[in-house]
Structure formats: structure tokens, C-alpha cells
Amino acid sequence: MRGVNPKPAAHVVLLTTRTDHRIAWLAALAITIHIMESALPSPLPGVKPGLANVVTIVVLCRYGWATAAWVNGLRVLAGSLLLGTFLSPTFVLSLSGAFCALLVLGPAAWVARWAPRWAPGPIGLSVLAAWAHMVGQFWVAYALFVPHEGLFHLLPILLTVSLVFGVASGAVADVVIKRLEAASV
Amino acid sequence: MTRGDYAVLGLCALALPALFVRYGLPGSSGTQARITVGNSIYAQVPLSRAQVYRVPGVLGISEIEVRAGQIRFTHSPCQGQQCVRSGWAKRGGEFIACVPNRVSVSVLGQGAGGDYYDSINF
């Protein structure tokens, strides 16, 4: 390549902030969990624990919605590239799930501002995210892939499962947040 | 657990029964079954009505019973009686065949969620 381009391009300096680095580290963590989880066998199609949700909730509680959105978006994108599902139906479902989860988490985190007494903690946020993820996926699956009413027969049972997993990963996120607070203060 | 957590969990707990009532259980049952003799469809029967069908095959009469959304072979003129021992079929996509008598039964699915797949990869 040296012969082709005698004048090397100007040295490009990417200015990165502390926040950028934080997002990158947290996204790396979320991607790792995402990929590890994809190797777990699933008892039912469409059912997985959503362990990366733990990272989303921890990030949301500690660093706010914008960072959580970045981390979650990067997880879906990079996770799909690494798993080879980029732009496949799996990716579309994953993306729409993450999008809806963030869409719901925004107002939920905002409630903490104007009604702190009613602000959901990690467990409530996790359940909200899990349900939004599932419902969002269902809409998109119905609209794009399986336009049949029969699909919705699966919804109640999958929402029951995601309620359980949502509470579980919320409890994990709660512990992680408390440890982080104890460690950083 | 904060008050908001309880609110979220409470709403979910209220929503779930409503969803179960609205959408039912997945693949709970097929609604119809198709009885085939040889290469032609003998009859398409509803699984909602209890009835015994006497289906003439190449060896003789196969008796097929429908009850409570399920279907099975009760009597068969064949030797092996595989069809009778197969028991009940109820989910969309399930299939029982009496090969010697050339009579088969397949439960028709309701499309996605009704058809019973062995596995789905995505």
C-alpha cells in the first residue's frame, strides 16, 4: 500500500472523553455476557435469561439513560457481528427488543425525578425492561416475520417467564449496584 | 424493593391473568384433524365434537375416536396395532398412521403457535 499512496493521510486524532471510555468498557462487558448467554441451550424458543439486562440496569442506575442506551445499542450491534447474525431476523428482533426496553426505561428513570417515592428500583426497572423487550419483539415478529394471530398465544407464557427472569436479573443488578456504591465511596 | 418496584410487579401480576384469558395457552390444541385413506382425504373432522369414526381402509375398518379435543385409534384390523398404541394426538402437526390399513390421522394446526415443531432454530 505504501507505493500506491505516497502521501500518508494526515494523522487522525480521535478525541475520547472519560464517558466514551466508560461506555466502551461497559459495552464490552455487556457483549461478553450476551455472547456467553447465546451459548446456553434454551428450553423454549424465545426464552433466554437476558443476563445482559443486568448490565443495562446497573449502567442506567449509576450513569443514566444515555449511557445505558449507548451500551445496549453497542451490545446488540457488536454482539450480532460476533455471532454472525447481523441484519438477520435474530438481529432485527434483538434490536427492536433493546429499543423498546430503552424506550420504557427512559420514562421509568424519569419518574425518579418528579416522584421519587414512586421510583422503581433495579428490580422494577429490570422487569419493565424485560417486558418491554418481549412485547417489542412480539410486535416486530408479528409485523415482519409471522403475521399470524396464533403467535400471540405464546405471549402470556413468555411474559410469565420474562417476569421471573426480570426479577432475578434485577436482584442481581441490585446487589451489583450496592457493591459498586460500597466500593466507590 | 421500593414502592415503585411493588407497583411494577403489581401491574405485571394484574396483566398476566388478563393476557392468559385473552390469548390462551400456546399450541393448546388443534381444532381439526384430517383422516386420510391411501392417498386421498377421507374426512376432515372437528376435534370439538366427541364422536367415533369408522374408516374403511385396505384391510378393514379402523375405528377413530374424537374426545375432548383429542383424537386416537381405538380399533384397527392391522397386526402390529402401532396406531392404537400411539394414543391420543391433540397438537397441531401431530400425526398417527396405521400403515398396514393405510389410514392416517393428522391434527391440523392453527398456523404459528398452533403447529407443533420438534425444534426451531433462529
At A5, the pLDDT band (50, 70, 90 cuts) reads low
Q: Is B39 on the interface with A (CB under 8 A)?
A: no
Q: What is the mean pLDDT of chain A?
A: 88
d(C-alpha A105, C-alpha A122), whole Å: 11
Interface size, chain A vs chain B, as Cβ–Cβ contacts under 8 Å: 83
For the stretch B55-111, pLDDT in tens is 999 999 999 999 988 899 999 999 889 899 989 988 877 889 999 999 999 888 654
Q: Pairing state of beta strands B95-98 and B103-108? A: antiparallel
For the stretch A46-73, pLDDT in tens is 678 888 999 999 999 999 999 999 999 9
CB atoms within 10 A of CB A44: 12
In this predicted structure, what is the pLDDT of residue B3? Answer: 87
Q: ipTM of this predicted complex?
A: 0.78
In this predicted structure, what is the pLDDT of residue A167? Answer: 95
Q: Is A131 on the interface with B (CB under 8 A)?
A: yes
Contact (Cβ atoms closer than 8 angstroms) between residue A177 and residue A122: yes
SS3 assignment for A6-63:
CCCCCCCCCCCCHHHHHHHHHHHHHHHHHHHHHCCCCCCCCCCCCCHHHHHHHHHHHH
Q: Is B28 on the interface with A (CB under 8 A)?
A: yes
d(C-alpha A126, C-alpha B12), whole Å: 12
Q: Which of residues 34-93 of A touch B (CB under 8 A)?
A: 45, 89-90
In this predicted structure, what is the pLDDT of residue A153? Answer: 78
pTM: 0.67
Residues in CB range of A62: below 8 A, 6 or more apart: A177, A180
Residue B115 has pLDDT above 70, yes or no: no
d(C-alpha A74, C-alpha A26), whole Å: 10
- Give A149 to chain B, closest Cα distance, Å: 8
Beta bridge partners of A161: none
Residue A42 has pLDDT above 90, yes or no: no
With beta carbons under 8 A apart, name residues in chain A contacting B120: 45
Q: Is B25 on the interface with A (CB under 8 A)?
A: yes
Q: Is B5 on the interface with A (CB under 8 A)?
A: yes
For the stretch A69-116, pLDDT in tens is 999 999 999 999 999 989 988 899 899 999 999 999 999 888 877 888
In this predicted structure, what is the pLDDT of residue A185? Answer: 64
Contact (Cβ atoms closer than 8 angstroms) between residue A98 and residue A55: no
Residue type, B84: V
